[in-house]
Amino acid sequence: MKKIDLIYIIEDDLIASFVIKKVVDEHPVVVESQVFANGRLALDALLTIFENCHKTPDLILLDINMPIMDGWEFLEALSSIDKDVSIPVYILTSSISPVDIERAKSFDEVKGFFSKPISNDKLNKILAP
Amino acid sequence: MIDKHIKEYFIGDLIKEEKDTLRHANIVVIYYMVLLCLTLLVPLQFLYIYTGNKIQFAIGLGSICVFLVALILIKRKNGIYAISQGLLIFSTFTFGLNMFLYPKMNMISGLLLACNIHFAFNLLGKKSGIIYATIHFLFTVLYMILISEGIRIPIIVPVDQPITEQIAIFFLLFVIIVVLILHYQSAHKKAARNLIASIGDLKVSEDRRRKSQAVGHIGNWEVLLPSGELFWDDETIKIFGASEQTPIYMVDVLSRIHLEDRENVRQAIQAALEGEAYNIDYRIIHTSGTERVVNALGEVQRGNDGKPTRFYGIVQDITERKQAEEAQKKLMDITSYQNTQLKNFAYIVSHNIRSHSANITALVDFLEKSKNEEEKDMMLGMLKSTAFKLDDTLKNLNDIITVTENASKPKDKRILKEEVLKTLDILNGTIYQQQIKVDIEVADDLEVKVIPSYLDSILLNLLSNAIKYRSYEREAQIHVQARREKGYVVLAVKDNGLGFDMKKNGRKVFGMYKTFHKNDDARGIGLFITKNHVDAMNGKIEVTSEENIGTTFSVYFNEKN
């Protein structure tokens, strides 16, 4: 398995983000993970990275329902940014609504749709597709 | 107007029938003319007895041939009537012949007379038959008297001819004329009788048609082509609300059609003339000014050259049906909307519960694997917090379900200002503490028809939101104002707080679990429930907001139901 240097976890629920971070960090191939409480914070971080030509995260785990900037708004903002690299986004949500699943497919960045809770099996699928 | 037209149309058939009867009578006349010729041949034949047998024979043969031809012609006509007519002619002929061949009346003449009378009865009817028989009898008696007296009648035939010939010709001519007159009269009477009966039938069926059309609000119309002359029946006139006196032209019809439907009707007519079916619903403006919906069905009749000659059909007032259909459609829309809502709700419920249950599952898993006491304590703390959150979620869901359940609760009148003041009392602590300026511009007697508990909830939610999302950069102000507007009482709650971006979040404001601010106590459920409350009372809620300037929520309370 390829090494994953950096994973962004975008999740507003503190317990959920703790759970996800713990599972991710304990995975052998993951080097580092960062948690953002909503889309706006993650987007700001990314914009700084793009501006300074720093290394982008290898993948993003994204929740949908969040205050300030939700998952969809984040995706729209991300896809509107002119950038060289494409960051694979995996949606990790409590929703099982087909409307959400369909909507997720409409974004090129979205590589997968997973429902909570996160597990090692799911993480394996994400890390080694 | 079309009544007259229809009458002409149908009476045309009747007139044709009468003409047939008369033509038939004419044929009979021709037969009698033939008969007359034959009868006239007999005396000629008699004369030729003196000039030579051959000619007499030839003429006799010829006359019989003419008779046979006449008989065949008659036979072509229909049935017993024709046969009896033929026999009448034959017997009359033979009777006349007999009289000449046997100047004195004999048995055969008597029998033929009887036959004649019989057929006259058959052919002309009882009354005419008696007249015919009587005349026949009288003339026979007269003939016998004249013969016995040796009297000659000089008027008809030259004096030097034998009396028998003169009498016979006079007699036959008379009989024939009488029969013809009688026949003509009878034929005319019959035709007239038929015509009257038919008009009676027509009146009955016309009345029936008119009544059933009135019941179904179905009218007739017809356009003559290419003149464009238009006929409307009473019902059509009624449907359009036109005046019976005013003549109607195609232009009038179009001007009565709803402006938005005119082009459609024009196109449908054009298509009908080109061979397509004419079946169209359109709106009309009734003379009374009301809008009605009609359905028109029509057909084009074409001449031999394929060009349209008539465009006719029916028109039916379907306003009530359309309204029922629309009501049904509306109901259907509401049902399917509610269905979607319910489905969405199920997804929301699933989402909200899962978000906590997922945490619980993961935390329990960590707890099991954890060997560190400190870590275990932390996990337990998180579990506890999650359990509380799950409980909150279930409470929220319960609130929402209660809204749906109580939608049929009875409405009551409430004085709006009193309710606003009551709510502000509840929030008094914060208002006083935070020095929030509240001004109320609601008439003292303004009433709203509401489900009381919903009004309480709406007011509390809107006012507490206005307090909660105040700006710390300026003195907080809340303005509560109410007015009447088109069947609604509109309550506006305006603040000068944080506000939000309408373009980004305007649609999401009333959504579930949508929060735009970092307030810890934002649950994202208040406005969702408020909207549900307002909806349940057939009202509406609107919002305008500007970031860092303020937000105004306007609640429309329905005054009718």
* Interchain pair A115, B354: CB under 8 A: yes
For the four alpha carbons of A63, A64, A68 and A73, in that order, the dihedral sign comes to positive
Residues B239, B240, B243, B249, Cα dihedral to 10°? -130
CB contact under 8 Å between A13 and B355, yes or no, is yes
Q: Which residues of A touch B362 (CB under 8 A)?
A: 19, 23, 117-118
Q: Average pLDDT per run of 10 along chain A, which is 129 residues long?
A: 86 90 89 91 90 88 86 90 84 88 90 88 82
Please tell me if residue B352 touches chain A, with a CB cutoff of 8 Å. yes
Task: Pick A94's closest partner by Cβ from B354, B504, B522.
Answer: B354
With an 8 Å Cβ cutoff, is A120 touching chain B? no
> Residues in chain A, how many?
129
Apex B26 CA angle, B23 and B32, nearest 5: 155
Smallest Cα distance from A99 to chain B, Å: 10
CB contact under 8 A, A73 and B504: yes
pLDDT at position B278, please?
A: 92
A95 touches chain B (CB under 8 A): yes
**Inter-chain residue contact B385 with A93, CB threshold 8 Å:** no
Residue A3 touches chain B, beta carbons under 8 Å:
no
Confidence at residue B107, expressed as pLDDT on a 0 to 100 scale: 41
Query: What was the pLDDT predicted at B46?
Result: 47
**Interchain contact, B504 vs A13, CB within 8 Å:** no
Please state the three-class secondary structure of B38-98 as a single string.
HHHHHHHHHHHCCCCHHHHHHHHHHHHHHHHHHHHHHHHCCHHHHHHHHHHHHHHHHHHHH
Q: Is there a contact between A15 and B513 if contact means CB atoms under 8 Å apart?
A: no
pLDDT for res A81: 83
B541 touches chain A (CB under 8 A): no
Distance from CA of A97 to the nearest CA of B (A): 6
The ipTM estimated for the assembled molecules is 0.84
Question: Do B518 and A68 make contact, defined as CB atoms within 8 angstroms?
Answer: yes
Do the Cβ atoms of B359 and A118 come within 8 Å?
no
CA distance A116 to chain B (A): 6
Measured in angstroms, the CA of A67 and the nearest CA of chain B are apart by 5
Residues 6+ apart with CB under 8 A from A117: A19, B358, B359, B361, B362
Residue of A nearest to B386 (CA): A15
Q: pLDDT (tens digit, 0 to 9) for every residue of chain B, 561 residues total?
A: 444 554 555 555 555 665 665 556 555 555 555 555 555 554 444 444 444 445 445 545 555 555 555 555 554 544 445 544 555 555 555 555 545 444 444 444 454 455 555 555 555 556 666 666 666 666 666 655 655 555 544 333 343 445 455 555 566 666 666 666 666 667 667 777 777 787 888 888 888 888 887 787 788 888 888 777 788 888 888 888 877 666 667 777 788 888 899 899 989 988 998 888 999 999 998 888 888 999 999 999 998 888 888 899 999 988 888 899 989 998 898 888 778 877 877 887 888 888 888 889 888 988 888 888 888 898 899 899 889 888 888 887 787 777 666 656 678 889 999 999 989 988 888 888 888 899 999 999 999 988 888 888 899 989 988 988 888 888 999 999 999 988 899 999 999 999 888 887 777 787 765 555 555 555 567 788 888 888 888 889 999 999 889 999 999 998 876
Which member of A16, A95, A117 has the closest CB to residue B347?
Answer: A95
Contact A68/B352, CB-based, under 8 Å?
A: no
Of the partner residues A15, A68, A96, the one whose CB lies closest to the CB of residue B350? A96
Phi-psi region of A8 (alpha: psi -120 to 50; beta: other; left: phi over 0): beta
Q: Which residues pair with A110 in a beta bridge?
A: A89
Cross-strand pairs, B310? B224, B301
Alpha carbon separation from B468 to B60, B350, B509 (Å, rounded):
134, 29, 15
Nearest by CB to residue A117, choosing from B359, B382, B517, is B359
Q: How many CB pairs under 8 A join A and B?
A: 61
- Using an 8 Å Cβ cutoff, are B62 and B26 in contact? no
Under DSSP, the state recorded for B534 is H
Residues B286 and B294 sit within 8 Å (Cβ to Cβ) = no
**Interface-testing mutation among B354, B498, B513, with chain A (most A C-beta atoms within 10 A):** B354
In angstroms, what separates the C-alpha of B314 from chain A's closest C-alpha?
49
Q: Please name the residue of chain B whose CA is at the shortest distance from the CA of residue A37.
A: B518
Interface of B with A in 492-511 (CB under 8 A): 504
CA distance B209 to chain A (A): 58
- B344, B345, B350, B355: best mutation site toward chain A, by most A Cβ within 10 Å? B355
| Residue matched to tokens 């329902």 | A65
pLDDT for position A20: 92
CA distances from residue B453 to A76, B402, B417, B459, B541 in whole angstroms, order as listed: 41, 11, 16, 10, 17
* pLDDT tens column, A44-80: 999 898 888 888 899 999 998 887 888 988 999 988 8
How far, in Å, CA of A37 to CA of B122, rounded?
116
Q: Are B545 and B494 in contact (CB under 8 A)?
A: no
> Residues B542, B554: contact at Cβ < 8 Å?
yes
Give me the residues of B, 253-292, that contact A with CB < 8 A. none
- The nearest CA of chain B is from the CA of A128 a distance in Å of 22
Chain B residues with beta carbon closer than 8 angstroms to that of A96: 347, 350-351, 354
